Copies of this chain bind each other. A is one copy, B any other.
Amino acid sequence: MAEARAFHTETATDEEIAAEAAVVGPFTDAVRALVDATIRSTVDLDEIRAAQAEIEAITERLTKEQIPGGYGVRYRTDGTGRAWGNAVIGLRNPIAPPLTISTEPSGRASADFRLGAPYEGPPGLVHGGVISLILDQVLGHAAGAGGRPGMTGTLTIRYRQATPLGELRAEAWIDRAEGIKTWAKGRIIGPDGPTAEAEGLFILPRWARERIARGESKGPSPKYFE
Does A67 lie within 8 Å of B42, measured CB to CB?
yes
Does A31 lie within 8 Å of B55, measured CB to CB?
yes
Interface bits A47-60 vs B (CB < 8 Å: 1, else 0): 11101101110110
A70 within 8 A of B: yes
> How many residues of A sit at the interface, in one of the four size bands?
35 or more
Complex CA distance for A69 and B56, rounded to whole angstroms: 27
A225 nearest in chain B by CB position: B122
A105 → B minimal CB distance (Å): 23
Query: Which of B23, B30, B49, B117 interacts with A55 by CB under 8 Å?
Result: B30
Complex CA distance for A84 and B162, rounded to whole angstroms: 20
Does A87 lie within 8 Å of B154, measured CB to CB?
no
Does A94 lie within 8 Å of B159, measured CB to CB?
no
Complex CA distance for A39 and B155, rounded to whole angstroms: 27
A214 within 8 A of B: no
Q: Which A residues fall within an 8 A CB radius of B? A: 1-2, 5-6, 8, 19-20, 23-24, 26-28, 30-31, 33-35, 37-43, 45, 47-49, 51-52, 54-56, 58-59, 61-67, 69-73, 84-88, 90, 92-95, 116-125, 127-130, 132-137, 140, 151-159, 162, 164-165, 225-226
